[in-house]
Structure 1
């Protein structure tokens, strides 16, 4: 299993844990103008460098988007960090916590799951997201549930990020 670290950050970018925020993540948050978000770090591709999972809830005034959430959930970004920069691997919309990284792998990257619920879906389920060699699926509501034999993994982001980010305002 890859090394994982859950690091939640306040709206000011101050760590709510003892881990420093990677510079590439700081730049991404500034570029997107994020005001409410959660961050988790995980080595998804087993290359020794952690990728960043950023659950974007809302932007500051003047950001490139007034809101990252809808009735089906919020936007989860997967970033590959390179030095002080980053590359967006995936922009996954309509995702809800829990965000899980699974033990199973596809094309060298860990599979993931997010909750799919709301927006017209009557039964909530954990959508199975497999890396296609370039990105994770962008719309988890179109993906099947996680198969029973693939469910082992680690929860990185829970709905606590909503409570923590709201406490900052």
Structure 2
């Protein structure tokens, strides 16, 4: 009986950690304000999926919708929280989910893994996008980003996530 109880406790703990890893962060008014400003004048709906790195230092925001996506992918914002506001430390122009946080680091920040396909690239692959000390590289299809295979890391934004609809500011139509 103790073995069954112990097994159930371990299984419940594993389920809880998986569920927590897949739960999006709660709505953050500062992030919503940042995204509304970024999307000002956007045509069509904007959806976003946000993830916070395990150290809490970086927020990744994957934007989808007609203003953010093209044949090569969608836009990934890399943000740093400074007091009550967000500051951009990178905008990756042609990214596709899954978005991963790789174990390798460049200039003190972990590289980002983004999937690259489309826009003329027919064989998809994962690219490691490095940090240069100030910003993340903006295009995962050219240097300094590099193609990687089986790089250790963790998925922060899954390909099957629909994201949240970015509602206009309450005082806007």
Residue 6 to residue 40, structure 1, CA distance change in 2 (3 Å):
farther
Judge conservation of contact 1:56–1:74 (CA < 8 Å) in 2.
yes
Q: What is the CA-CA distance between 1:29 and the residue it aligns to?
A: 1.7
Deviation, structure 1 residue 24: 2.8
Q: Given the alignment, which residue of 43, 50, 68 partners 1:39?
A: 50
Q: Does 1:156 align with 2:163?
A: no
Cα contact 1:7–1:41 (8 A) shared by 2: no
Shift of the 29–7 alpha-carbon distance from structure 1 to 2, 3 Å rule, reads: farther
SS of the residue aligned with 2:63? strand
1:72-111 alignment to 2 at 5 Å? 72-111=72-111
| TM-score, normalised with respect to structure 2 | 0.72
Kindly tell me: are residues 35 and 155 of structure 1, through their superposed partners in 2, closer, same or farther at Cα, counting changes over 3 Å? same
* 1:32 Cα deviation after fit: 2.2
| Contact 1:110-1:130 at 8 Å conserved across structures | yes
- 2:148 equivalent to 1:146: yes
Q: Any idea what SS the aligned residue of 2:35 has?
A: helix
Please identify the structure whose Cα radius of gyration is greater: 2
- Residue 15 (structure 2) aligns with: none
What is the TM-score when the length of structure 1 is the normalising length?
A: 0.73
CA contact (8 A) 2:126 2:149 kept: no
CA-CA distance at 1:122 after TM superposition:
1.9
Q: Which residue of 1 aligns with 2:131?
A: 131
Structure 2 stretches lacking a partner, 5+ long: 1-19, 40-44, 166-173
* Partner SS state of residue 69, structure 2: coil
For the pair 1:25 / 2:27, whether they are aligned, the reply is: no
The total of aligned residue pairs comes to 139
